[in-house]
């Protein structure tokens, strides 16, 4: 076989499999095989096998109790969070570095109220930040940015422009 070109007709079945001739494999047999990457499945590290979640009525969150900042669990309990208990009656915990995480739940209606209060606070703050000062103006566009013509004429309510 020295000096001749290798073809499928003069190569054994074992050699053709190694060389990738008859199998249609286009990769070079002299290159090392590349490892196929598999992505990590989401949510595996926080699964709780002995607990049945009630997503319709509760909001779940992991809280960590760090030794240099104690009181986070107590604060959560004061805000109406409850410890989640598994089927055996123990609290559900996970190690997290030098601390421990506890799974806690909050009634969905309390979570909705908290989120609405947060939205109102943000609206109020945004309203104060966007107020115009004395002798200050803001130009307005006739079309939204990103429209077909981004070079639209800018209109201003400044009487001196």
Q: What is the pLDDT of residues 11-30, one digit of tens each?
A: 565 665 555 555 555 677 78
- pTM attached to this predicted model: 0.52
What is the CB-side half-sphere exposure of residue 56 using CA atoms within 13 A? 0
Q: Distance between CA 131 and CA 136 in Å, rounded?
A: 10
Q: 104 is in which domain, residue-wise?
A: 48-110
| 83 falls within a domain | yes
| 119 falls within a domain | no
More reliable by pLDDT, 85 or 68: 85
More reliable by pLDDT, 102 or 26: 102
| 26 falls within a domain | no
The structural domain count of the chain equals: 1
What's the maximum distance between 2 C-alpha atoms anywhere in the chain? 92
| 79 falls within a domain | yes
């Amino acid at each position: 076989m020295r000096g001749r070109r290798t073809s499928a007709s003069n190569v054994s079945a074992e050699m053709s499999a190694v060389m990738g001739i008859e199998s249609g494999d286009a990769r070079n047999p002299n290159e090392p095989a590349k490892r196929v990457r598999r992505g990590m499945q989401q949510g595996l590290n926080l699964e709780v096998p002995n607990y049945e979640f009630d997503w319709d009525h509760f909001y779940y969150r992991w809280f960590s109790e760090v030794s240099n900042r104690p009181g986070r669990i107590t604060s959560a309990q004061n805000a109406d969070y409850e410890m989640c208990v598994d089927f055996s009656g123990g609290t559900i915990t996970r190690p997290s570095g030098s601390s421990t995480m506890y799974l806690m739940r909050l009634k969905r209606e309390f979570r909705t109220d908290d989120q609405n209060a947060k939205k109102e606070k943000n609206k109020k703050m945004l309203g104060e930040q966007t107020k115009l000062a004395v002798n200050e103006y803001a130009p307005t566009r006739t079309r939204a940015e990103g429209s077909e013509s981004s070079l639209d004429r800018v209109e201003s309510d400044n009487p001196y422009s």
